[in-house]
């Protein structure tokens, strides 16, 4: 119980997971397999934090929302 609360307190917010996923780049010391696993882990954390439940419709909505935000300039 306490361990879960400590872990939960250290979880990042969805935007932080998204940024980490989008900006993560391969280290010279990493193999491509290691890099792919790390990218997948970051993606899973982002999707989980957004409560997509690995549902295609929810994932699609998340991706479209992100794309929309990148394409529209709010003044």
- Write the pLDDT tens digit of every residue in 16-35: 999 999 999 999 999 999 99
Please state, rounded to an integer, the average pLDDT across all residues of the chain: 87
DSSP structure class, residue 65: H
pLDDT-based confidence at 7, cuts 50/70/90?
A: low
Give the list of residues 6+ apart from residue 49 with CB closer than 8 angstroms, or none: 11, 12, 13, 14, 17
Task: Give dist(CA 72, CA 40) in Å, integer.
Answer: 27
pTM for the whole structure: 0.71
């Amino acid at each position: 119980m306490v361990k879960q609360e400590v872990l939960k307190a250290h979880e990042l917010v969805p935007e932080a997971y998204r940024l980490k996923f989008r900006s993560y780049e391969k280290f010279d010391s990493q193999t491509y397999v290691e890099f792919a696993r790390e990218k997948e882990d970051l993606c899973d954390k982002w999707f989980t934090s957004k409560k997509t439940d690995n549902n295609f419709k929810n994932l699609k909505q998340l991706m479209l929302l992100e794309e929309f935000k990148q394409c529209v300039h709010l003044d």
